[in-house]
Structure 1
Amino acid sequence: MNNPPLVSLIIITMNHEKFIEQACLSAISQSYPNYEIILLDNASKDKTFENAEKVLSKFDRPYKMIRNTESFGVAKNINIAVSHASGEYVSLLSGDDWLTEDHLAEKVSYIQKNLVDFILSDGYKYYQSEDKMTDAYSPKEKKQIIDTLYRFFHENVSENKTANVGTFVKKELLVKYPFDENINTEDWDMNLRLTSKGYKIGFIDKKLFYYRILSTSLSRNWKLMKDSYEKVTHKYLDYIKADKELYKKYQLKLIHFKYEILLSETDSESEKERLRTEWKKEKYKVKYKNPVLFFKLLMLK
């Protein structure tokens, strides 16, 4: 590749001392020839920063280390790191995930051959507590994403359907449209914000990342997820309400959060059973507007 563009590989990390070495080794082992590493430690209380610097200092690859003195949200941390980036493109990585060696090479090749502004890809999910690896998407899920890329915003505005590990984006877009620092699901929000403005998203049908799922992952915290979901969708609520199917999906998602929160707050099995029954009723009321059909289906369940 003649004069390959500079890529800034940004690693955002906090209390990842057990995992940061793997993330850094995957960053330092990229086959792509022209990139820098920017690691931002979000005021870790363990040895994350020291472990990362120990790994990165052993290799002849440009890197910058940023250490917060106080803790911020992921979105603000990314915005800070981007302000230190020199690359034409930015690739994002969490300190508990890791990348394949050809990750950057594949992303740069794709974005130079296709009229897109940012890229997602296929990958793996690794469940830490179970020591289990699975595909990030089922074949059906992946086909759906690829087939509907041309209307990505519409498909994802009521529910995030992508695993946003290793997001690769033109730096100029992150400067022009910084991450929303009031939202926890900042990656989903960015995807919607850029596609709503007409920027094009690409998807590489190759497994280029490993997404580590921990028992403490944000996706397990239902109250935070509900709050973030409402903040993101509120931006596009008029669009959602104007489409009957989207609005139905939106309502079902709110019901889902409501009952997951209630279930997480009780240890009583009888109360859990009651809540599941109520959940089922509310869900069917939204899904089936015909009262007769609704009660028939409810009886079958």
Structure 2
Amino acid sequence: MNGDNHELPLISVIFPAYNVEKFVEKAVASVMKQDYPHFEIVFIDDRSTDNTASVAQRTLDSCTRPVRLIRRTENRGVSAARNLGLALSRGEFVCFIDADDFIEPNYLTLLYNAISAEKSDLALCGFNHYFVDSGKTVPERFKLKKSLAQPEDYLFAWHMRKISTSVWGFLYRREFLLSKGIRFNERCNRGEDGEFIQKILVRSSKTVFVRERPYNYVHHDQQITAIGREDERAPGLKKEMTLASVRAARYVLRYSRSKKVRYAVRYIQEPEILIGRFTFYARRRDWENYRSRLRFLRHRMVRKILLSSFWALPYSPELFFKCVVLLSAPRLFYKLRARQLRSPRP
């Protein structure tokens, strides 16, 4: 990498933030320590009710790079904050960092070197789970070992659970996002990341994979508290997740030229959407709502979608088993899913 900052393209680091005053200083400081020399920080405080904005401002006061800190007058959600950051960014490349996570000093360098060497639209990296209570770092195990030949192979790998990531796992060529009209859905409060990832992967002309793990996804108590609050409006959030999955599936089927990606959508994603609706009520041990939805299993189209998971048997035998149990023994499905505990996911 050339030592002259201005011979390198500008990277815009976009921070959406809401009520993370305990973590935002470490997050911002980790960006300020980047060994890539030419970047700007676009920090969007989404009308936090704590001291997030003031802590961020105090930390950014010592930053020698261009900084824009926006304090929103109303809380509009992470999707709107990310879209605003993208609109305000000036970089040739952009990335999104969650304000309660942190990155290693070589995060930007690794991703920039990969995306520039391959002239790709996207660069994807691995990540670690960092647990605040124990101080332990656990690497996320990707089943992907190297860059894939075709760009849509990444979307197929994502469907096959070989890639587990979020929007912060990528460096994006800004013009790619703008020219394809890809933005975050501001009406969606759950499932927006998965919808966005499927859109970028199906539209990318080239994607490159970086095996290193320069991103740290932080697990902390505030997430548990937030989940508790969301539980009160869980049916609405689950509906939003389902709609996000449906929109993503339609988008992929519209733009994909890959037979195996279309295969994954029809025989894996669509059955998973239906399974997810029943699993949601089973895990909440909400028998009344679960039972009220069993009538849908009599619909020919619903049964056809669930049974179509047979064609995904070589890739996802567990999914086919779930579909068969739900159709043939819905009470047993309820009991089995009700016993399973949720595991933290990024």
TM-score by length of 2: 0.69
1:233 counterpart letter in structure 2: S
The answer to whether 1:256 aligns with 2:258 is no
Contact 1:99 1:166 in 2 (8 A): no
Change (3 A) 1:58 1:153: same
Gap regions ≥5 residues in structure 1: 272-281
In structure 2, the residue corresponding to 1:256 is in which secondary structure? helix
1:218-276 CA deviation, whole Å, 9 max, x = no partner?
A: 6985546523431222122575797334444343333332322x23x79xxxx9xxxxx
1:179-198 CA deviation, whole Å, 9 max, x = no partner?
A: 21122333221221122234
Change (3 A) 1:106 1:223: farther
Change (3 A) 1:148 1:117: closer
In structure 2, the residue corresponding to 1:208 is in which secondary structure? strand
1:5 matched to which residue of 2? 9
In structure 1, the residue corresponding to 2:42 is in which secondary structure? strand
Change (3 A) 1:96 1:170: same
1:181 matched to which residue of 2? 186
1:83-106 CA deviation, whole Å, 9 max, x = no partner?
A: 111100101101101100000011
Q: 1:107 aligned to 101, 105, 111, which one? A: 111
The answer to whether 1:93 aligns with 2:102 is no
Contact 1:157 1:233 in 2 (8 A): no
1:274 matched to which residue of 2? none
Q: 2:267 aligned to 244, 250, 273, which one? A: 244
Range moving further from structure 2, 159-168 or 119-128: 159-168
1:162 matched to which residue of 2? 164
1:39-85 CA deviation, whole Å, 9 max, x = no partner?
A: 11110111111111111111322111100011011111111111111
1:44 matched to which residue of 2? 48
2:206 matched to which residue of 1? 200
Contact 1:40 1:67 in 2 (8 A): yes
The alpha carbon displacement at 1:131 in A equals 4.1
Between the two proteins, the alignment pairs up a number of residues equal to 279
The answer to whether 1:153 aligns with 2:192 is no
In structure 2, the residue corresponding to 1:38 is in which secondary structure? strand
Cα separation, 1, equivalents of 2:226 and 2:119 = 34
Q: 1:63 aligned to 53, 61, 67, which one? A: 67
Q: 1:230 aligned to 242, 257, 274, which one? A: 242
The alpha carbon displacement at 1:283 in A equals 8.4
Change (3 A) 1:9 1:246: closer
The alpha carbon displacement at 1:134 in A equals 1.4
Range moving further from structure 2, 41-50 or 283-292: 283-292
Cα separation, 2, equivalents of 1:30 and 1:241 = 38
Query: 1 or 2 for the larger relative contact order (CA 8 Å, sep ≥6)?
Result: 1
Q: 1:18 aligned to 22, 31, 46, which one? A: 22
1:275 matched to which residue of 2? none
The answer to whether 1:286 aligns with 2:323 is yes
Change (3 A) 1:290 1:111: same
Contact 1:160 1:188 in 2 (8 A): no
Cα separation, 2, equivalents of 1:252 and 1:129 = 34
Contact 1:118 1:168 in 2 (8 A): yes
Change (3 A) 1:100 1:286: same
1:231 counterpart letter in structure 2: L
Percent of aligned pairs sharing the same letter: 22
Change (3 A) 1:13 1:198: closer
Contact 1:9 1:93 in 2 (8 A): yes
In structure 2, the residue corresponding to 1:215 is in which secondary structure? helix
Contact 1:248 1:287 in 2 (8 A): no
2:342 matched to which residue of 1? none
Cα separation, 2, equivalents of 1:9 and 1:209 = 13
Cα separation, 2, equivalents of 1:196 and 1:104 = 24
Cα separation, 2, equivalents of 1:147 and 1:153 = 12
Change (3 A) 1:244 1:10: closer
In structure 2, the residue corresponding to 1:243 is in which secondary structure? helix
Contact 2:146 2:209 in 1 (8 A): no
TM-score by length of 1: 0.78
Change (3 A) 1:224 1:218: farther
Range moving further from structure 2, 36-45 or 232-241: 232-241
